Amino acid sequence: MIPLSALIFDVDGTLAETERDAHRVAFNETFAEYQLDWYWSESLYGDLLNVTGGKERLKFYVEHYLSHLPPPSDSFITALHRKKTERYQHLITHAHLPLRPGVRRLIEEAHQKNLSLAIATTTSLHNVITLLERSCHPIPVHWFKVIAAGDMVRDKKPAPDIYDHALKELGLPAKECLAFEDSQNGLRSAMGAHLRTIITVNDYTQDEDFTGALVVLNHLGEPDQPFTVLSGQVGQAHYVDVSLLHSLHTQ
Ligand code: XBP
Ligand code: MG
């Protein structure tokens, strides 16, 4: 029997709802600081989320929504994104974004049961570490054996590179791991690395196509806050714990 050895988590939208009230706000604050009359509404941001990576998203926005402007230079995009990252750091340091339901409980149980924990995300390492320190506290960052983030790989999600990188660093084959994602781009990335994947949707991703996921839930659930199953088989379970992960792993 193939053991379940590690859990690999996406960050934005999976560990915490960071997109609408943190990343999006940080982009808008940056535009205002640069005196650009750009504004990303909640709805526009939902469309822009199809492009993963902040720098890539900025570039796409200028090229596709402001096509009357000359294409932005890489140095301008880099400068804007650096400022956005500063703003984001400030926001998540002071606003304390909660973890999504069940995330803390599952991480603690997995650690206690000697499963390795890892991160595979599009955002930067610094952003992940700040979020883990602020929102996961008192879970220490070092519980995550591997943090695969941002520009550590050439191609961002939906390419499989970041999951391939996480697996390489873990020293494990995909079949011994499970991935946790919230978006179709994330699922495509994980599946491209041959990982079986559990999806917890959010407002931005609930209508996406998650064909190929092991199970699609509204969140991981808590004993007193059951999840809703959107697709897949979970037996009698009403929240995700390590025992359910073992049974999903052997499906
Ligand atoms: C989500 C993303 C990120 C963030 C912005 O990544 O697409 O681009 O929106 O982060 P994931 P940066 O769900 O894989 O964590 O601006 O730092 O790139
Ligand atoms: Mg995500």
Per-residue model confidence as pLDDT tens digits over 44-54: 999 999 999 99
For the question of residue 182 being annotated catalytic, the response is: no
Q: Which of 122, 127, 188, 208 to mutate to test the pocket of ligand 1 (most atoms within 8 A of CB)?
A: 122
**Residue 8: in which H helix or E strand, if any?**
strand 6-9
Q: Decide: helix, strand or coil at residue 244.
A: helix
Residue whose CA is at the smallest distance from ligand 1 atom 13: 12
Mean pLDDT, residues 19-37 taken together: 97
Digit-coded pLDDT (tens) for 81-105: 999 999 999 999 999 899 999 999 9
CA 109 to chain centre: 20
Q: Which atom of ligand 1 lies at the shortest distance from residue 84's CA? A: 16
Out of 10, 161, 164, 182, the active site residue is: 10
Digit-coded pLDDT (tens) for 201-222: 999 999 999 999 999 999 999 9
For the question of residue 241 being annotated catalytic, the response is: no
% of the chain exceeding 70 in pLDDT: 100
Neighbours of ion ligand 2 (CB under 5 A): 10, 12-13, 182-183, 186
Digit-coded pLDDT (tens) for 165-203: 999 999 999 999 999 999 999 999 999 999 999 999 999
Q: Which of 42, 52, 184 to mutate to test the pocket of ligand 1 (most atoms within 8 A of CB)?
A: 52
% of the chain exceeding 90 in pLDDT: 95
Q: How many CB atoms lie within 10 A of CB 142?
A: 8
> Is the pLDDT at 75 greater than 90, yes or no?
yes
Cβ contacts of residue 77 below 8 Å, gap of 6+? 55, 58, 59
β partners of residue 198: 180, 215
Residue for token digits 């600081």? 33
